[in-house]
Structures are given as structure tokens and as C-alpha cells.
Amino acid sequence: MTVRINNNFSNPETPTGGQGALIFAIESSCDETSAAVCRDGKILSNFIAGQKVHEKYGGVVPELASRAHMQNIVPVVDAALKQANIELEEIDAIAFTQSPGLIGSLLVGSQFAKSMALALNKPLIAVHHMQAHVLSNLIPEKKPSFPFLCLTVSGGHTQIVLANSATELKVIGETLDDAAGEAFDKSAKLLGLPYPGGPLIDKYAKDGNGEKFSFAEPQIEGLDFSFSGLKTSILYFLQKQVRNDAHFVQNNLADLCASIQNRIITILLKKYKRAALQTGITNLCIAGGVSANSGLRKAFNDMCSQNNWKAFIPPFEYCTDNAAMIAITAYFKYIQKDFADLSTTASARATWD
Ligand code: KG4
Ligand code: ZN
């Protein structure tokens, strides 16, 4: 990649105000290095490089993740630019995930984005990763109108968000402990499955009976969630069964996966239904890595059609971490001229506002 160096960053080129805006975005908050390009809110490219290095450790190793981002970022950026068939000079703004995430991983993406903004003399846009998951629902042709609700279920977060506009998002419910993705991954670990276990539970659950085993359902007030009790309930159940039958897990894997998945889905949708009834909002979305789960997608669609609500689910490539969602979020910030300073720093934790 060749970049033109321009030291006049104190006065980046005047943005056009949204018409035909070409946004280049980088996502590097966890273990996916991704770059995307969008023009006027339409995705032209979305390139994602995963990191296999973590599989043998049973979870993401932060230091290894930042090293892999360092190796991946230049080829990923290059691929996204080529896929979009654009020249660097055409870009109107550079966006990046500022928070939340692993700090070493975030720093790779943020430093790269800042360097590009400085070299190209273009404005910089800092994006909140969880807000971007919500707005991934605005990528497809079929989009929700405002106001809408979004159940965001990822590896680190579980939230119900009320969106009054693309830039007015409010969390109205969230997990008090583990996230839904963690509940999937930790349960999978108890079953001896490798990381990330969510997609494997989904796969085995397809051949299982979700009513076979019953696991604890938390009794939490309001719109908040809790998943730590479920993990403990699965652990004690398995310990007891394995004492009598050493092959219990192998012999019941599909039913165990289906029952665990079933319980996670009922916990999620019970609260989501309550949120819809309380707010009276009938446009309902899901987002985040766990929204790739086939059982959740089906149960969510069923719940919406039974209640005459409109259901929106992003295509698979926009459910797990991706830069397209960063680009679309940045597009709305671009219209509002909500730009970041070069002194903006990445942050592991994020405030919502
Ligand atoms: O949104 P995401 O890619 O990264 C975070 O921001 O955390 O979510 C990753 C999470 C992991 O916990 C992974 O196991 C889960 O999403 N996941 C799934 C499925 N695909 C990804 N969980 C259940 N079923 C799936 N098909
Ligand atoms: Zn995510």
C-alpha cells in the first residue's frame, strides 16, 4: 500500500456532509482483524481475518491477539481497498473501533487508522463497538424504522438497546454477570468442546432434543439478565451424571447441546419480549456473534410473528465482529460531523454516551 504523507492534519479536508461519503473502517477489538469500505451507507467491501492461534488455549490470549492483528492489518486493509475497487485518495473519512475490547488489539487498529487519517489528511471517526453491533441492522436493504429495539448478544455483552435514531441509543437492560456468548462458550468447555464453543453447540444442537435436560432459569427483576447460575447448574449436573457414567457427555452430546441452547434462548427471549411489551416498540432486531445461532434466529422469528412484530436479523457476516458495522456507524457520525481528534485513545472499557 502506498500512502501520501500530508502533515496538515490540523485542518483536514472539509467533509461533503454525507452525499456519496466514502468511509474506510477498521475493527480490531478482539480476535478478528477486519477492514471495510462503505459509500453513502452501502457496504462495498468487508474483509475479515480470523485468528486460529487461540484455539488450543480455550479462549482468546490478549498478547497473541495483538500480535496477530499486527501481522494481519496491512493485508486486510489492502484486501478491503481492492475488493471495494477504490483508491486511497477517494476516502472521505477513516473510522476505527475505539472501545470496548482488548486494549492491545484496539491499539493496533486505532494507531493504524490514525496514521491513515494523518497521511491522507482525512477526518477520523471513533466508533463504539457495541453501538456498531446494533447498527449492523441498518446494513441490509430491509432495515428497521425508528424507534427499534435490539438484543445484542456477543462474547462480552448482552444488552437490550432502544434506538430512537442512529445516534440516539440507550441500554435498557443488560447482563449482571456473564454474557450470552460466554454462557455458550463456558458450557461448551464443560462439555469438552474447543473454543469458541458457541458455533459447535449450535451445530450439535440441530440433532438433539432441547427438552431432554432442564437447567436453572434465573429470576432477575426487570430487563436485566444473569447467566452465571446456568453455568453452575450445568457443572453440577454433569459432575453428578459423569460419576455414574463416564461416557455420559459423549453419549448425550446432541441432547445436552440442544438443552443448553434452549435454556439460553428462553432466558434471552423472555426478557426481550418483556422489553417489547413495556416499550410498545414493534420493530425488533438482534445483533452480535450469538445472533448467528440458528436456534435463536428461529425462536426470535417465531416470537415476532406470534406477536405481529417485525423481526430484523443481520446476515451472518455482520453478526460476528466485522468492520462493515463500524463503517455504517461511522457513516451516521460523518453526517453529523462527529469527528475524533488524533489524541483520541483506545479504551478497554466504554461508557455508552
Ligand atoms: O460479537 P462477537 O463476534 O464478538 C464479541 O464482540 O464478543 O461474538 C462472539 C461470540 C462468541 O461467544 C461465540 O461463541 C458466539 O459469539 N457465537 C455463537 C455462534 N456464533 C458465534 N454462539 C452461538 N451460536 C453460534 N452460531
Ligand atoms: Zn463484537
The pLDDT tens digits of the residues spanning 263-276 come to 999 999 999 999 99
Q: Indicate whether residue 100 lines ligand 1 (CB < 6 A).
A: no
The neighbour count for residue 334, using CB atoms within 10 Å, is 25
- Per-residue pLDDT, 17: 55
Question: In a 10 Å sphere around its CB, with 0-12 CB exposed, 13-18 middle and 19+ buried, how is residue 199 labelled?
Answer: middle
Closest residue by CA, ligand 1 atom 23 = 198
Q: Name the residue of 136, 261, 320, 322 to mutate for ligand 1: max ligand atoms within 8 A of Cβ.
A: 320
Distance CA 67, CA 93 (A): 26
* Proximal ligand: closest to the CA of 290: 1
CB within 5 A of ion ligand 2: which residues? 154, 321
- Per-residue pLDDT, 13: 52
CA 212 to chain centre: 31
Q: Indicate whether residue 314 lines ligand 1 (CB < 6 A).
A: no
Q: Indicate whether residue 320 lines ligand 1 (CB < 6 A).
A: yes
- Per-residue pLDDT, 51: 86
Q: Name the residue of 184, 186, 318 to mutate for ligand 1: max ligand atoms within 8 A of Cβ.
A: 184
pTM: predicted TM-score of the whole model, two decimal places: 0.92
The neighbour count for residue 61, using CB atoms within 10 Å, is 17
- Per-residue pLDDT, 213: 97
- Per-residue pLDDT, 19: 65
Low-confidence stretches of the chain (pLDDT beneath 50): 1-11, 14, 16
